[in-house]
Structure 1
């Protein structure tokens, strides 16, 4: 994936060695306490915000539509703009970009949430359903202190994952898989296999707390 030299770096604690593209000669730079991603304004990196037009009335968007917070009472549905794209019965919101090809990676920071779902769904998925309950959506969920993978209303337990703080999502459209990524290793913890046939959107369900999305990230090295 080609990236401009002027791309801005985004770094977090982790421990890693990267190659610096600056200057006339490439050289290895040891970063014993940090991991770096490259956030680019161009290229194939998926950039998205949350689409307010799809958000259930119990969900409020914030931080320039990159975060979502659950409100127990929510808004009076009669005060929410009537939109056929809006989820009516479930606390779900989609990202505002459609994916029809390629390999894409994004992360989600979890704040005070004990029940949520992250993944992808067909852009034309029924707004009367919840993500994970039909054959048009593929998600990783967290509830009752346990992780699971879910599609067509079938749950598969996901082990070796602790209480969430920040997780990654890796989508390969052509290869037909969606991966849950441990961002600290980094490694793929669990994979959902599927045959994607239509445009997909990043999808999120939230029943308490907050989620903050991070798009425009390059895939960490070493993921298969």
Structure 2
């Protein structure tokens, strides 16, 4: 219980974005457009998923760049009145999802992180609550970095990850049928830490960012030797 409370406090203190007005970053509940809904039609079941970041889900403090493969954190964020009205957007937390659903298979992608001291990388159910932060519920599984330390997190419970330093580029390995999500040291390469979970719904790549920027690299072959 104490660990869960500490995890909740950490996400509350460091995860919630600073806004220029009391309503900045809040989503609206208008219906999504037909074209927006269609972006989540296809489900990857093989290997080597390729995705971009879905602007519809991005919190207003996150700017997408490089053809929607990267995000930059902006402390004040965008004027909420200029953010597209849709129910898919994360309302309180600086989170964005990938635009591909994964319903099976074994997939690998990498993330380059620049000038960031706090971020989260992993997967989330496509239907997870847009009021939650990734890692704080049972519908998301992430590896995070904060206060110069790595951790694994799901269900608001944090487990320290001690075998990796502040890496500029890391890999994420997802084996849907095996219920495995792993953090990969791309230099070795080797699995540093893994999370086991019974995945029961389509998943999307998930990212949280509270400073700096990150760039995703998908459609990659899994490095040899990973188990």
Taking structure 2 as the reference length, the TM-score comes to 0.79
Gap regions ≥5 residues in structure 2: 1-45
Quote the Cα distance in structure 2 between the aligned partners of 1:46 and 1:53. Answer: 20
Structure-1 residue corresponding to 2:87: 84
Structure-1 residue corresponding to 2:64: 61
SS of structure 2 residue aligned to 1:69: strand
Asked which structure has the greater CA Rg, the reply is 1
Deviation at 1:82, TM superposition (A): 1.4
SS of structure 2 residue aligned to 1:208: coil
- Alignment map for 1:148-159 (pairs within 5 Å): 148-159=151-162
More strand by share: 1
Structure-1 residue corresponding to 2:112: 109
SS of structure 2 residue aligned to 1:84: coil
Quote the Cα distance in structure 1 between the aligned partners of 2:138 and 2:127. Answer: 12
Gap regions ≥5 residues in structure 1: 1-42
2:212 to 203, 209, 213: 209
Residues matched between the structures, number? 182
SS of structure 1 residue aligned to 2:102: coil
- Alignment map for 1:1-224 (pairs within 5 Å): 44-224=47-227
Deviation at 1:61, TM superposition (A): 0.2
Q: Deviations over 1:16-48 (max 9, x none)?
A: xxxxxxxxxxxxxxxxxxxxxxxxxxx731100
More helix by share: 2
SS of structure 1 residue aligned to 2:171: strand
